[in-house]
Amino acid sequence: MSALETHAFQTEVNQLLKLMIHALYSNKEIFLRELISNASDALDKLRFEAVSDDSLNEGDEELAIQVSFDKDARTITIADNGIGMTRDEVIANIGTIANSGTKKFLESLSGDQAKDSHLIGQFGVGFYSSFIVADEVVLTTRKAGTEAAEGTRWVSKGEGEFTLETVEKAQKGTEIVLHLKEDMDEFLDQFRLKNIITTYSDHINFPIKMFKTEWDDEAKAQKTTDELEQVNKATAIWTQPKSELSDEDYTNFYQTLSHDFNEPLAHIHNKVEGTLEYTSLLYIPKQAPFDLYDRERRYGLKLYVKRVFIMDDAEHLMPTYLRFVRGVIDSADLPLNVSREILQSNKVVDKIRSASVKRVLDQLAKMAKAEDQSDYNTFWDQFGQVMKEGVVEDFANKEKIAKLLRFASTHDDAAEQRISLEQYVDRMPEDQEAIYYIIADTHAAAKGSPHLEVFRKKGIEVLLMSDRIDEWLVSHLNEFEGKPLKSITSADLGLDEEADKDLSEEDKQAREALTEKVKKALEEQVSDVKVTHRLTDSPACVVNAEGDMSAHMMRIMEQMGQSVPKQKPILELNPDHALVKKLESLEDENKIKEWSLFLLEQAQLAEGDQLEEPAAFIKRMNTLLSEMI
């Protein structure tokens, strides 16, 4: 044995540990589910490693998990003969909360205990759920294939520090002893522990064993024998016929697989036989994890080959935009020694991936068409932005994904609008040729844009977009059902052509003179000046020349640290507005320039642009206002 070493938890881990223990107290029985799930993972990993190195089994004929308790000592023990851990792995991997996302996760917590408990579950409580019921935890482990003298013991009371020492451990694997808190005697009961195992862990693909109990006539009570009995079915749920499984079975497996306390929105269970043979069980969650937008963070799919666990987070089986999907894929056609490199260029994997994506998209389409839209609305609120990535990422399924998209629009003032492109097209007047949209930094900015004025006047619906990804979305989604998507901030909308036909020659000349005058005053700031009928209440707006990057896209690029080439907007004037009429009446070139700059900068502010000299704008506005008093 080595000398005892004491280590401090990281500040964030200690903070989360305290929060977790209190937030999850009402779900305290999940500690057993979590520890059994970890033990199952350790057995899975050993079975996979032993395919190429049988000596790692160390003579064990059966891989199993054992759960026992001691009423006198007030302890519960969970032991496995799996892969085990080295001392360094204990420090690095003992619990999933000690990872690089901890600080970010803590920032996502709201302070609402009920809501936070669901987030904590999704973060993955793992080993540290032990401290919900225990005031001291002793973990002893040894990596398979190492000497008996190379065991490691980890001990903590969950109060800011833990101790480590090297110990003798004859059997490979991990043993966890929980010293229960005073009010946790309910778990020192055979029936209670069995019930938790059969509720949450019945599907675990390894035997979970407990010492058998029998009736003692003399003591008039149950007594524990020395005989072990298996208490779970140990049948992988995905291998069972769907007809034999209940919604509760599917939910329990999902919660064990994902560490999520919510029920899933949907599950998709398929067995494929023929040229390919595989089974998939996929889940669509109800709530997004806190790090959903970290595209490098791999989630949810476990890959098995003939029920042997191969790898976690098999990203080759699901595209990035569907990274929220959780589940299992079990193939009979892949080799047991398959690697990530082999997965990258494997035709079997490509076919499984393609079929899995189709099943997920078909399930979402089914939810989207259901009479009760509550499930799909929940899905869209949680995962809508990442689904938009699919239009860019998955060309083969672009049309399917486009039908799943939802937007706010000017159709009504409901706070939570979810308009599909199909609904928009169905409502279009026969003579409308395009699907119109506007992108702004916020929903409020989009809804209040002066560009909408003529569309409201003409009763034309406009999609209101404000997600950061929307610029990339519309650059790849050029049309839907034959209708082009067109930004209402583009210069050429063709909405005022009819109105121009009614103008007298004198009016046309006056307007031409106005635009020439303003264009001369702003020759360094704008590429062109036009009179438009797109405005009814505002004096001016800025629009993009055909092919130019939108102002919103330029702002996003700048925020990302990208250098953006300077481009001049087009200024459009409302000839019927009092401020434009005032400008039209001016003869002094300095006054014309001041008024022109004022209208331009006002229009840029309405677009959400940052002015280069906001103080100069304020001074100019105050001067012009004082002259009008």
- Mean pLDDT per 10-residue interval, the chain, length 629 residues: 76 67 72 89 91 91 94 96 93 57 56 51 65 93 96 89 93 96 93 90 90 75 82 90 93 85 93 92 90 66 84 82 93 80 82 95 96 94 94 94 95 76 94 92 88 89 91 92 90 60 75 89 89 86 74 63 73 90 88 90 83 84 80
Q: How far, in Å, are 292, 367, 401 from residue 262 at the CA level? A: 17, 18, 26
Cβ atoms 437, 455 nearer than 8 A: no
**Beta strand extents in 383-510 (DSSP E only):** 408-409, 435-439, 462-465, 479-480, 483-487
The whole-number pLDDT of residue 420 equals 95
Amino acid letter, 264: P
- φ, ψ (nearest 5 deg) of residue 528: -165, 160
CA atoms within 13 A on the CB side of 28: 17
DSSP characters for 330-350? EESSS-TT--HHHHHT-HHHH
The whole-number pLDDT of residue 558 equals 62
Closest CA to 42 of 135, 162, 227, 171: 171
Cβ atoms 159, 6 nearer than 8 A: no
Closest CA to 22 of 103, 133, 105: 133
**Tally of CB atoms within 10 A around 63:** 21
**Residue spans of alpha helices (H) in 28-178:** 30-50, 87-93, 102-108, 113-123, 130-133
Angle at 286 between CA 282 and CA 289, to 5 degrees: 90
The whole-number pLDDT of residue 199 equals 83
- Distance separating alpha carbons of residues 32 and 39, to the nearest angstrom: 10
Pairing label, strands 528-531, 570-573: parallel
Q: Give me 511's structure tokens.
A: 């307007």
Q: Based on C-alpha coordinates, what's the Rg of the chain?
A: 32
The whole-number pLDDT of residue 7 equals 82
- Distance separating alpha carbons of residues 559 and 253, to the nearest angstrom: 42
The whole-number pLDDT of residue 616 equals 84
DSSP, collapsed to helix, strand or coil, labels residue 1 as coil
- Distance separating alpha carbons of residues 40 and 376, to the nearest angstrom: 33
The whole-number pLDDT of residue 395 equals 93
The whole-number pLDDT of residue 98 equals 43
pTM of the model: 0.74
**Tally of CB atoms within 10 A around 212:** 14
DSSP, collapsed to helix, strand or coil, labels residue 566 as coil
The whole-number pLDDT of residue 378 equals 94
The whole-number pLDDT of residue 384 equals 94
- φ, ψ (nearest 5 deg) of residue 399: -65, -40
Tokens 């699901």 belong to 318
